[in-house]
Amino acid sequence: MDAGHGLLGARVEMAGGAGWLFTGRVGRDSHPWLVDHAVAGTVVLPGTAFLELALVAGEQLGLAEVRELTLETPLALPDHTPTTLQVVVESADETGLCAVNIYSQQNDGADWVRHATGSLAPAGEEARPALSMADAVWPPAGAVPIPVDEAYAWLADRGYEYGPAFQGLRAAWRLGVEVLAEVRPPRSPADTERFVIHPALFDAALHPLALDQVDGVSAPSGRVVLPFSWSGVRVHRSGGLDGLRVRLTPTATGTVRLALGDGSGEPVASVAALTVRDTEPARLLDGAGRHPDLFLAS
């Protein structure tokens, strides 16, 4: 069955009721917008792309929540050579959760590398209500502007090399402990309707974290902040998005809660908890599965 997705091309139900397999291929030539996402000179699949893979698998299987997704190692994308992706979703366990694992293979016959692991869950009665940002006044009264005009030059000096497709942060504000933002890339990626939430758009929603603007989230000198694990991710609207309103709220446990809205603030997605880790940019130069501990705090 055709998965009909921007990164995944086929979906197969595995024999014996063991689960489902989604496959696809990704590369700089087939997905040129990925060239605009580099760290320390290495083009790397954004962490939001792994979340997107889990979200689309869940959407197609009627599993509305990414309960957990932990990133284990980045995926560096070589020049002109496509990388094969596999998303493996196991059948439900006794609690109703379906394990999900995401793998890549750089060349035929090469070892498969696991990049992310987690679980998917059906929507339950306990599902959290969507948070609307469709306020009559945006940003809300009392929000203090955060300068972002030089944001991407500042980030480039620290190893984040974002091209136009990922330079989506248009404005940001601080409201108490929360950070609010508007995201709209200057060059909208193609085929946004073929994604739940386009990874470039979602990635830009996280850029206030890299700018050290969210309380409790910062990287020591010479290191960069990257997504590490996601919990309680729900999507309320998918496909065709070209802009977002973002609310980032630090929690007492050191994670960040996210609410995403469309251009008018109507709910798009919510994340109960995002955990980030810092790492040395140069270690990504030898990525592609060689550093299973890359995201561990040190």
Question: What is the DSSP pairing of strand 256-261 with strand 267-279?
Answer: antiparallel
- Which contacts of 27-31 are long-range, i.e. CB under 8 A and separated by 24 or more positions? 27/77, 27/80, 27/81, 27/82, 27/83, 28/77, 28/79, 28/80, 29/80, 29/82, 30/82, 31/6, 31/7
Mean pLDDT (the chain, rounded):
89
DSSP state of 156: H
Quote the radius of gyration of the chain (alpha carbons, Å): 18
- Kindly state the average pLDDT of the residues 60-65: 96
Please give the residue that has the higher pLDDT: either 189 or 211. Answer: 211
Return the pLDDT at 287.
47
**Helix or strand or coil: residue 170?**
strand
Return the pLDDT at 116.
98
With a cut of 60, say whether residue 296 has pLDDT above it.
Answer: no
With a cut of 90, say whether residue 285 has pLDDT above it.
Answer: no
With a cut of 60, say whether residue 294 has pLDDT above it.
Answer: no
Nearest one of 232, 179, 289 to 51, comparing CA atoms: 232
What proportion of the chain, given as a percentage, has pLDDT over 90?
Answer: 68
- Kindly state the average pLDDT of the residues 73-78: 92
Nearest one of 177, 74, 61, 71 to 120, comparing CA atoms: 61
Return the pLDDT at 87.
99
Per-range mean pLDDT, top range of 84-88, 139-143, 189-193, 224-228: 84-88
Task: Give the alpha-carbon dihedral of 111, 114, 119, 122, to 10 degrees.
Answer: -60
The string of pLDDT tens digits covering residues 153-185 is: 999 988 889 999 999 999 999 999 999 999 998
Q: Confidence class of residue 131 from pLDDT cuts 50, 70 and 90? A: low
- Kindly state the average pLDDT of the residues 98-118: 95
Return the pLDDT at 80.
86
CB 160 within 8 A of CB 224: yes
pTM summary value:
0.92
The string of pLDDT tens digits covering residues 215-249 is: 777 766 777 788 999 999 999 998 889 899 999 99
Q: Confidence class of residue 127 from pLDDT cuts 50, 70 and 90? A: low
With a cut of 60, say whether residue 38 has pLDDT above it.
Answer: yes
**CA 19 – CA 263 distance, rounded (Å):** 37
Domains contained in the chain, CATH given = 10-123+131-286 (3.10.129.110)
Return the pLDDT at 219.
65
Return the pLDDT at 3.
65
Helices (H), the chain: 47-61, 151-157, 199-205, 207-210
Q: What are the residues whose beta carbons fall under 8 Å from the beta carbon of 202, sequence distance 6 or more? A: 46, 48, 51, 52, 244, 260
Return the pLDDT at 240.
87
Q: Confidence class of residue 290 from pLDDT cuts 50, 70 and 90? A: very low
**CA 43 – CA 274 distance, rounded (Å):** 23
Q: Confidence class of residue 271 from pLDDT cuts 50, 70 and 90? A: very high
